C-alpha cells in the first residue's frame, strides 16, 4: 500500500515510517502543512491533528475517499468529532502501540477490499437479471411464502429485492440436498431462508417441511403448481419460459424440468409424446430423478 504520514513530531513519524517500510509498504512523510507535497495517490493517510484545524479539515475533505486515520494527542470536537464527520475513518491516541496502528490500517484496507468485491458481485448479479422483469412487489407481511415460477431466476431476483427492502441476509438451501432438514433447523429468525427445488420433494417430505418452516422467515421456490400449500403464494412467471434461461441445459436436466413442470397438465401419453420418448422411458426417468408422479389437473 502507498501510505502518507503527516506528522510534525519527527521521532514519531520516523518510527511509523520505519515500521511501515519494514512491513512492505511504500511510505512518504510530511512534517509541514504543505499540500504541494502530495505527488501521488495514497491508500492510507495518517494525519496528525496537531496541525491547524483548517489544514487538517481541508486534507480530509479533499481525500475523504481514502482511509484517513487521525493521530491525536487529546480528544475534542476539533481534533476528532468534526474530522470524523468530514470523512476521517478513525483515530488513535498518542502515545500508541505500533501494532495497534498497523491493525487499524489493515482493518480498513480489508473493509475497502470487501466493499469493492461486494459492489462487483452486485453489478454482476444485476447484469444477469436484466432480462427478468419484477414489476410485482413481493410482500414480506406473511411468511412463509411460496413462489410458483417457470424460471428460477425470476424467483431469485424477487428474493434478492426483498432482502434489500428488509435489510436481512439470505441463506440459500437446496431441497435436493440430503441434509436440508438439518440446515433449516440451524437457521435463526434474523435471516431470510430461501429454499429452492421444492418441486423435487415427495409428498411426505413436503408435509414435514411445512411443519418445520411454520414460524420462519422462509421463501420457497417451485417450478410446479402447488395446490395444497397452506401459506402465502405468489406467481412469478416469465412468458419466455425456459428460453429465458441464458444457460444451455443438458438433455437430462431439460427432461427433468419438463416432467416436473408439466406433468400436472398432460397425461403420461401426451407428455412422453411431446418429449419424444416412450411412456416406459418417462417412467424410468421419474424413477431415476426421484420425481413423484402428480395428479393431472383437469
Phi, psi of 219 (to 5 degrees): -125, 130
**Cell 403448481 identifies what position?**
225
* Residue stretches of the chain with pLDDT short of 50: 242-244, 298
Per-residue model confidence as pLDDT tens digits over 203-241 = 888 999 999 988 888 999 988 888 888 988 888 876 555
What's the pLDDT score for residue 102? Answer: 93
221 pairs with which residues across the strands?
Answer: 147
Mapping DSSP onto H, E and C, the string for 134-190 reads CCCCCCCCCCCEEEEECCHHHHHHHHHHHHHHHCCCEEEEECCCCCHHHHHHCCCCC
CA angle 281, 283, 288 (to 5 degrees): 90
How far apart are the C-alpha atoms of 283 and 88, rounded to whole Å?
A: 67
What's the pLDDT score for residue 243? Answer: 44
CA 92 to chain centre: 32
What's the pLDDT score for residue 135? Answer: 66
Which architecture characterizes domain 2-123 according to CATH? 3-Layer(aba) Sandwich (3.40)
What's the pLDDT score for residue 41? Answer: 84
What's the pLDDT score for residue 298? Answer: 47
| Superfamily of domain covering 130-247 | P-loop containing nucleotide triphosphate hydrolases (3.40.50.300)
pTM of the predicted structure, to 2 decimals = 0.59
How many Cα atoms sit within 13 Å of 23 on the Cβ side?
Answer: 18
What's the pLDDT score for residue 244? Answer: 47
Fold match flag (2-123 vs 130-247): yes
**Cell 423435487 identifies what position?**
200
Joined together, the cell numbers standing for residue 239 give 412468458
What's the pLDDT score for residue 296? Answer: 58
Q: What residue ranges do the domains of the chain occupy?
A: 2-123, 130-247, 248-298
Amino acid at each position: 500500500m502507498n501510505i502518507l504520514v503527516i506528522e510534525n513530531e519527527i521521532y514519531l513519524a520516523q518510527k511509523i515510517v520505519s515500521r511501515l517500510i519494514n512491513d512492505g509498504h511504500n511510505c512518504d512523510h510530511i512534517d509541514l502543512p504543505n499540500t504541494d507535497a502530495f505527488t501521488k495517490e495514497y491508500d492510507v493517510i495518517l494525519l496528525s491533528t496537531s496541525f491547524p484545524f483548517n489544514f487538517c479539515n481541508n486534507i480530509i475533505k479533499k481525500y475523504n475517499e481514502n482511509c484517513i486515520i487521525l493521530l491525536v494527542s487529546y480528544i475534542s470536537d476539533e481534533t476528532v468529532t468534526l474530522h470524523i464527520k468530514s470523512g476521517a475513518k478513525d483515530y488513535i491516541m498518542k502515545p500508541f502501540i505500533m501494532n495497534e496502528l498497523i491493525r487499524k490500517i489493515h482493518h480498513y484496507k480489508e473493509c475497502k477490499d470487501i466493499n469493492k468485491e461486494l459492489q462487483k458481485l452486485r453489478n454482476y448479479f444485476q447484469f444477469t437479471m436484466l432480462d427478468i422483469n419484477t414489476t410485482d412487489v413481493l410482500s414480506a407481511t406473511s411468511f412463509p411464502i411460496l413462489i410458483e415460477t417457470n424460471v428460477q431466476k425470476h424467483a431469485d431476483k424477487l428474493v434478492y429485492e426483498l432482502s434489500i427492502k428488509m435489510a436481512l441476509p439470505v441463506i440459500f438451501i437446496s431441497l435436493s440436498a440430503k441434509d436440508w432438514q438439518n440446515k433449516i433447523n440451524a437457521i435463526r429468525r434474523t435471516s431470510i431462508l430461501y429454499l429452492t427445488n421444492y418441486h423435487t420433494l415427495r409428498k411426505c417430505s413436503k408435509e414435514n417441511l411445512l411443519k418445520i418452516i411454520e414460524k420462519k422467515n422462509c421463501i420457497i421456490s417451485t417450478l410446479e403448481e402447488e395446490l395444497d400449500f397452506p401459506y402465502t403464494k405468489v406467481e412469478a412467471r416469465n412468458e419466455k419460459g425456459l428460453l429465458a434461461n441464458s444457460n444451455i441445459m443438458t438433455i437430462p436436466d431439460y427432461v427433468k424440468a419438463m416432467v416436473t413442470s408439466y406433468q400436472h397438465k398432460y397425461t403420461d401419453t401426451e407428455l412422453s409424446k411431446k418429449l419424444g420418448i416412450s411412456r416406459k422411458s418417462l417412467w424410468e426417468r421419474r424413477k431415476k430423478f426421484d420425481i413423484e408422479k402428480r395428479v393431472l389437473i383437469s
